Structure 1
Amino acid sequence: MIFSSLLFIFRFLPIALAIYYLAPAKLKNLALFLVSIFFYSWGEVRYFPIMLACIVGNYFIAIFLGKNQDKPTVRRWLLVLTLVFNLGMLFFFKYTDFFIININALFGTSIGLLRLTLPLGISFYTFQTMSYTLDVYRGEVEPERNIIDLGAYVVMFPQLIAGPIVLYKDVAAQLKVHKNRYTLSEIDAGIGLFVLGLAKKVLLANSIGALWDDIKVLGYANISTPLAWLGAIAFTLQIYFDFSGYSTMAIGLGKMLGFNFPLNFNLPYISRSITDFWRRWHMTLSGWFREYLYIPLGGNRRGMKRQVLNLFIVWCLTGFWHGANWNFLLWGFYYFVLLTVEKLWLHKPLAKGKIWPHIYALFFIVVGWAIFAVDTGMGDLAMFFSKLFIPQSGISAGYFVRNYGLSLLLGIVCSTPYPGRFYHKLCRQKKEVLRIAFLAVLLLVSIAYLVDSTYNPFIYFRF
């Protein structure tokens, strides 16, 4: 079940909220746990035991960590256990076939593929449960002794499938608030955010993404260089509005339930550098890697050579986290190189520049998304990049500019701060009638598109 579906908007969500709001104060976490289980199991019931094992396993490991505070050896073994347990599940389902394919290619073997279906949201909820246990190990949170409360945190349906990655320590206090967890003003703000996120996904991401889908159908070998660049720009806009739309809806749903989820996107395409871009894009993921990998490796505290090595490890794993494919590893290495170059040589020039840093950042962001988008093999990726950087004839971009030009222009405008400033101005000046009318129009147009559309999954559901 996805947020941008009529089933979710008109059936699941009203019923789930009614159950949650009507539940007695002490049973709200149980109500949230049960409706979230139903949400996840709607299309993934066979993999629900995997999530259940993740919850139960981390629950008991954290309990044992709490009981052995004065036994460092036992705690270290429990730390190893939680890493093996969480990363082992993620590795098994997501990466086993990738390694089998490459072993077969390297050694000429014929090991059979498992062809496992990736459990929905496993990349996100394993990171969340692992961060909880790591925080218990570090003494930053107390072990949660109510397994329903821990389960409600893990399976909370707004952020279950594709984030934002919510740390237990960020919502632990809210989980313990039984009375007055939410207010009418928070519910109102949450509804507004949900509608805005829905519009991002349906009106922008889906319409712009159709251009990239057309290019894939035509074949990379058949397109012209201008059309290749147009497609790369389209995917750049599509993935932003698709993922930030989901995150905005998730944050809005969280507010309706009385939880404040962290911001996941902050206008990444106005960045002045690649470093700035990664402070604005998928902020909860980059924050997770910084807190639980980069800093424990030594961060920038052990000299420049060690810092570069730490960046290399973090960005290779960031790329690999996104998918079991060589293009994602290349994408992570690409950003490692750019960030290292900026850190060593470009930091001061970028800080002094005015216009050129934005152009520089956008160029390399678009190129990066081209690496990310072409995941059908290194041959296809090489072909697409030859189209980008070696002027070639082929199918003209003219038809696609005429058909998608308005959507692309609207996407570019909505990537800037101005639409957000307009909406916040309506909120600040208490122009309730105008704000409600604006949201109502967005909702009605989005629903009209959904009625006439086919399946429209979120891009990050694959990861």
Structure 2
Amino acid sequence: MVGSYFFYGWWDWRFLFLIAFSSILDYFIGKNLESETAERKRKIWLWLSVLVNLGLLGFFKYFNFFITSFSEAFTFFGYTIPVYRLDIILPVGISFYTFQTMSYTLDIYRRKIKASHDVISFMAFVSFFPQLVAGPIERASHLLPQFNSVRNFNYSWAISGAKIFVWGMFKKIVIADNAAILVEGIFSKYGEQSSLTLIMGSILFSFQIYGDFSGYSDMAVGLSRMLGFDLISNFKFPYLSRNISAFWKHWHISLSTWFRDYLYIPLGGNRLGKKRAMVNIFIVFLVSGFWHGANWTFIVWGMIHGLVYLFYLIAGEKKEDDTLVLSFSTLGNILVTFSLVSLAFIFFRSPSIHDSMGYLSGIFVGKGESSFLLGNSRQMIMTIISCIGILILMAYEIASKRKNLIEVKLSKYDLVFIGLCTLFLGAFKNHLDFVYFQF
């Protein structure tokens, strides 16, 4: 716990009090939820946890958004309301550890787990530094017991973790950071670009955010293994998905399952009929979009995924085996799904709805020059495409051979090759912060 708090405090020591308060609060609420027998009092304890946690998250992350949106709503009717924005610093990882502690109290309330009676272990669970700032969002039933058990060094387990860590570093440093340079140039001057350049920018951002986020998750899993801890996998080759349903089973798994268990099912799930299930699904995607950031672009991004998912549900597609068998039909479905995901990511990446619509308009009627596909940028693009090709080939090789595989097992030759790529294509430039640090 001390190491995790030192790690978090290195960024800003003042927010140590926030994560400590949230942890201690839910620790004591959890004990009261377990010992209390009166249902009414148990609900009061649960709502105290939910309201305090969401209240802290809402203040730090959404206060200025709500104030600004409220003011802009009145300008539509011809009134002007002065806006008093606060200079609020968003605590790194607050969305992740808030959901982690909330799942703990919710599971105790449902009597799915027992409350922790070791405050040090519980605080270590909430603040575990490999996954603290960007997930995966762990459940207490999986991670918390590991702090109460004796861990002996396991050589094969540690080597497995080291390989996963290197693989994640390759995705972050080589693919995400290099793609980000071109993505920034294209998105910042989208009005001057050709349709082909804008399409390329959208594709590159899809791989940038995948390399960035899944790269962090892999490094978190790998580092945890080296320390003797087992974290859940957060990604399972999502860009090889054949439909939007499969995509969300393989993308940010810890968040999608969190919303399934603690929002979709409590809303009624599919138990109240297909129409109610469709409403519940749409609510989940809207909330998921809002969870990602205090901007209308994220809400629209969630709405797009919700609408596409509902279309898939209405079409009555059958569930598919996760084992990937390549065919023309499968390839076509993968390309369609990836295209829809990439177009939605334009809203995720753009600073405003206006910019998102301008970017989309440019894709269909763009008249600018392909400046980023010419000259010095061409060599960088070819390098990035080659690395993305390596990523896809390795993902396909694993997905096509083993069902439900959740990790990459690099051979010694793969490890050397990936290590050299990381050294020569990523070590000599300024690296960027992880995208999901802002959430």
TM-score relative to the length of structure 1: 0.85
Aligned partners of 1:354 and 1:198: how far apart in 2? Answer: 30
| Residue identity matched to 1:367 | L
SS of corresponding position for 1:272: coil
Aligned partners of 2:9 and 2:426: how far apart in 1? Answer: 23
Distance 1:393 1:455, change over 3 A: closer
Alpha-carbon distance, 1:389 to partner? 2.3
Pick one of 371, 375, 381 that aligns with 1:404: 381
Point out the more displaced range, 191-200 or 439-448. Answer: 439-448
Matched, 1:271 2:241: yes
Equivalent in the alignment of 1:377: 352
| Residue identity matched to 2:121 | D
Equivalent in the alignment of 1:72: 39
Alpha-carbon distance, 1:260 to partner? 1.2
Equivalent in the alignment of 1:24: none
Confirm or deny: 8 A CA contact 1:237 1:412 kept in the other structure: no
Aligned length: 419
SS of corresponding position for 1:204: helix
Equivalent in the alignment of 2:77: none
Distance 1:354 1:185, change over 3 A: closer
Equivalent in the alignment of 2:418: 442
Pick one of 137, 158, 181 that aligns with 1:165: 137
Matched, 1:198 2:165: no
Equivalent in the alignment of 1:87: 54
Aligned partners of 1:421 and 1:377: how far apart in 2? Answer: 38
* Match runs of 1:261-340 below 5 Å: 261-340=231-310
Alpha-carbon distance, 1:440 to partner? 4.6
Pick one of 337, 352, 357 that aligns with 1:361: 337
SS of corresponding position for 2:230: coil
Point out the more displaced range, 441-450 or 119-128. Answer: 441-450
Equivalent in the alignment of 1:233: 203
SS of corresponding position for 1:354: helix
Confirm or deny: 8 A CA contact 2:191 2:368 kept in the other structure: no
Q: Could you say what the CA RMSD is over the residues aligned between the two structures, in angstroms?
A: 2.4
Equivalent in the alignment of 2:159: 188
Alpha-carbon distance, 1:117 to partner? 1.1
SS of corresponding position for 2:266: helix
| Residue identity matched to 2:301 | W
Pick one of 11, 19, 41 that aligns with 2:9: 41
Aligned partners of 1:416 and 1:458: how far apart in 2? Answer: 24
Equivalent in the alignment of 1:58: 26
| Residue identity matched to 1:95 | Y
Pick one of 404, 407, 430 that aligns with 1:454: 430
Confirm or deny: 8 A CA contact 1:93 1:119 kept in the other structure: yes
| Residue identity matched to 2:163 | G
The structure with the greater share of residues assigned to helix is 1
SS of corresponding position for 1:227: helix
Distance 1:419 1:308, change over 3 A: closer
SS of corresponding position for 1:97: helix
Could you report, residue by residue, the CA deviation over 1:358-382 in whole angstroms, capped at 9, with x for unpaired residues?
Answer: 22212101111112111x1122111
Structure 2 unaligned spans of 5+? 75-79, 322-326, 403-408
Confirm or deny: 8 A CA contact 1:269 1:416 kept in the other structure: no
Aligned partners of 1:317 and 1:327: how far apart in 2? Answer: 13
Identity rate, percent: 35
Alpha-carbon distance, 1:216 to partner? 3.3
SS of corresponding position for 1:120: coil
Confirm or deny: 8 A CA contact 2:267 2:280 kept in the other structure: yes
* Match runs of 1:414-453 below 5 Å: 414-417=391-394, 421=398, 435-436=411-412, 438-440=414-416, 442-443=418-419, 445-447=421-423, 451-453=427-429
| Residue identity matched to 1:168 | A
Distance 1:225 1:350, change over 3 A: farther
| Residue identity matched to 1:140 | K
Aligned partners of 1:449 and 1:350: how far apart in 2? Answer: 38
SS of corresponding position for 1:278: helix
Point out the more displaced range, 388-397 or 327-336. Answer: 388-397
Aligned partners of 2:390 and 2:169: how far apart in 1? Answer: 17
SS of corresponding position for 2:177: helix
| Residue identity matched to 1:368 | A
Aligned partners of 1:139 and 1:391: how far apart in 2? Answer: 57
| Residue identity matched to 1:143 | A
Confirm or deny: 8 A CA contact 1:226 1:396 kept in the other structure: no
